[in-house]
Every structure is written in structure tokens, then in C-alpha cells.
Amino acid sequence: MKNILFSTIKYGTVVGLGLGALVHVSFAAPVLTPATVTDIGRTEAVVKARISNLGMYRATAWFEWGETSALEKSVVGMSDISVGGYVEYHFTGLKEYTIYYVRAVAMDSDGEITRSPTTTFTTGDVVSVSDPVAEKEEPV
């Protein structure tokens, strides 16, 4: 009887520790949606991304960007995010008719870093991305 009791306690402890490790790993890093670029103009654009799945951690989020896929620049978006939400940045002073690369990055309070896929956009004479383009109807 004593051996069965100790085996049950040992098995329960191993399973509990395993599940605890799984939960910690599953919620260790925040989840980011790909960066969405809206309101693109000649020298400006608005970039946003959604951050979620923070578990018990807080996060800081920012954007890495540049004129090449090396993403050589960064700008801070938000810090101390506790539940999730959107991080947004209004880029100004961009070059006209230039391709830019951008991605969202988040780091939780435990130091886990997540990067979204890289998105590109081109500045110039662009109608806002969020506005649908209407087709002109000809009279019959």
C-alpha cells in the first residue's frame, strides 16, 4: 500500500511539472499579427500590428523598418502591454516613391522575443489602403 501511494504521488508530481513546463512554454512568447500598413502617402504611412497571448507576462512592442530587408532602423511603439491589443506608429519624413520594409517585434518581461513576418509598402500618390476603390459606372 505504501509503494502504491508513493508511486501515485511521484507520478502526479511528474505530470504536474510536465504540464507546468508546457503551459510556461506555450505562453512564453507573445503572438504578433503581420504589420498592416494603412494611410500611405508621399512621405508618410501608418503601421499597426496586433499583439496577444501574453499569458502572465507584460510586453514591449516596436517596429523594425528600413529601405532594405535588413530592417536597419527601429521605433518604439508601446511598452508595458499587459493584456494585448494594437501597437501603432505613424511614420513621417519618408522618401517619396520608395519601397519600405517593416515588421513588428515584441519582447515579453521574461525576455522572449517574437517577430512578425516582414511587410513592404511603397510611398507615393496612393489612395488610402483602407479605402476601397470604386469603379466608375457609365450611363446606359
77-111, pLDDT tens digit by residue?
666 676 677 888 999 999 999 999 999 998 888 88
CA neighbor of 80 nearest in space, from 48, 54, 104? 54
Q: Contact, 58 vs 84, CB < 8 A? A: no
Q: Contact, 67 vs 118, CB < 8 A? A: no
pLDDT tens digit sequence for 36-68: 898 899 999 999 988 876 666 778 888 999 999
Alpha-helical runs (H) found in the chain: 2-26
Q: State whether the Cα torsion 95-49-75-105 is positive or negative.
A: negative
- pLDDT for res 135: 47
Q: Contact, 115 vs 32, CB < 8 A? A: yes
Mean pLDDT of 124-132: 55
- pLDDT for res 66: 94
- pLDDT for res 72: 86
pTM for this model (two decimals): 0.66
C-alpha grid cell, residue 116: 512578425
